[in-house]
Amino acid sequence: MVVLSTGEVDLGLTLAPLGMLSRDPTLRLGPGSMTRATLTPEGPGTLAVTWTAGHPEAEVRTSGPGADWLTARAPALLGLLDDAAGFAPTASPVRELWRRHRGDRIAATGTLWHDLAFFVVQQRVARADAAAQWARLVRALGTPAPDAPELVVPPAPAVVARLPYEAFHRFGIERQRAQHLVEAARCAHRLHADPAPDRGAVLAALAGVRGVGPWTRGCLDTFTFGAADTVITGDAGIPSMVAWLLAGERRADDARMLELLEPYRPHRYRVVRLAFAGGSTPPRRGPRTAPHEIRGR
């Protein structure tokens, strides 16, 4: 066990994005605790964090072959390496949101393959569908988590890379995303082995992989590497969410979002996080998209 000083970091806010998919079999996140099972370059591992609100320390326990790797990267995962100095918004409502959420930091998981598979599964489907599909895939192909029998370690890239696309239909994943997942696994098999991958080199390598487009790479840049200024483009909801927060505009595209965020460099992703934390959502018009039938696709 190691004890880390958290200072003003609010771990509840910082770690909340890790729980974006309900029923994620790799994660348990609750008030004052988080346990995550993952695959590191040194093998499977489990990291468990506990903390008390208002107390500036967190206890970190790791286990499995990847324990040392996870321990070394725990400060980044908890957002303790994210420097928010210089972020002092003066305009409403960002100023008020930052005042209420100034303990929010950007976590950097460092778990490239885990995150890549996680986001490929989420491509162009409703979040509830992605959550169910991710859970089925991990439970079917993954392995039990060290010292956390309720959790599952995601399957290794080599396991995914050798499967035909039709093998993913039982998880609810259609041909296109299945092929993207397999191609991503083939690329990640090499990248994943690096204990300290270079951010620029990784993103450049993934840019050449079919199905790993700007949206997926943007998600990885913020989630895996903790990039504070990256703006995720190609998302169906983020541009309008940002425009509603910053300009009271109901709808926006990527170009308009980037225009509105420009004054906030080098903290543009921090503003996006505040939009999420503040529930900045324009009123809905029209029904939700119906689930897609994947048989025969």
Greater pLDDT, 295 or 126:
126
What's the mean pLDDT in 105-118? 97
Instruction: Give the containing element (helix H, strand E) for 48.
Output: strand 43-51
Tokens representing 272 are 């996006």
CATH number at residue 175: 1.10.340.30
Answer whether residue 294 is part of any domain.
no
Q: What is the pLDDT of residues 168-226, one digit of tens each?
A: 999 999 999 999 999 999 999 888 777 788 899 999 999 999 999 999 999 999 999 99
The sheet with strand 27-30 has its strands ordered as: 2-5, 57-63, 43-51, 33-40, 27-30
CB 153 within 8 A of CB 26: yes
Question: 170 φ, ψ to 5°?
Answer: -65, -15
pLDDT at 293: 44
Residues 120 and 77 in one domain: no
Is residue 235 domain-resident? no
pLDDT of residue 289 exceeding 60: no
Same domain, 137 and 71: no
Q: Is 207 found in the same domain as 116?
A: yes
Residue 268 lies in a domain: no
Query: Structural domain tally of the chain?
Result: 2
- The pLDDT assigned to 255 comes to 98
Q: Which of 183, 212, 241 is the last residue of a domain?
A: 212
Residue 75 banded pLDDT, cuts 50, 70, 90: very high
**Mean pLDDT, all residues of the chain:** 93
Side-chain half-sphere of 69: how many Cα atoms within 13 Å?
22
CA 134, CA 19: separation in Å to the nearest integer? Answer: 13
Do 122 and 204 belong to one domain?
Answer: yes
Report, as an integer, the average pLDDT of 27-51.
Answer: 97
Tell me if 107 is assigned to some domain: no
Residues 116 and 182 in one domain: yes
What would the mean pLDDT of 74-90 be, rounded to a whole number? 96
**Where among 212, 228, 263 does a domain terminate?**
212
Claim to verify: residue 71 and residue 157 sit in the same structural domain = no
Q: Is the pLDDT of residue 295 over 70?
A: no
* Residues 68 and 160 placed together within one structural domain of the fold: no
Quickly state the pLDDT bin for 53 (edges 50, 70, 90).
confident
Average pLDDT over residues 44-54: 95
pLDDT at 271: 97
| DSSP character at residue 3 | E
Instruction: Compute CA distances 100 → 11, 13, 224, 273, 281, whole Å.
Output: 14, 11, 25, 13, 18
* 93-104 tens-digit pLDDT: 999 999 999 999
User: How do residues 251-276 score in pLDDT, each as one tens digit?
Assistant: 999 999 999 999 999 999 999 999 99
16 belongs to a structural domain? yes
Model confidence at 229: pLDDT above 90: yes
197 and 130 co-located in one domain: yes
In a domain, 250, yes or no: no
Q: Quick check: is 47 in a domain? A: yes
- Domain shared by 195 and 143, yes or no: yes
pLDDT of res. 285: 59
Kindly state whether residue 30 falls inside one of the protein's structural domains.
yes
The reply to whether 140 and 196 lie within a common domain is yes
Question: Domain boundary at 82, 102, 137, which?
Answer: 82
Average of pLDDT values for 24-34? Answer: 97
Together in a domain, 119 and 41: no
Residue 82 backbone dihedrals phi, psi, to 5 degrees: -80, 120
CATH number assigned to the domain comprising residue 72: 3.30.310.20
Task: Quote the domain boundaries for residue 24.
Answer: 2-82
Q: CA geometry: angle at 269 spanning 2 and 19, to 5°?
A: 50
pLDDT at 294 over 90: no
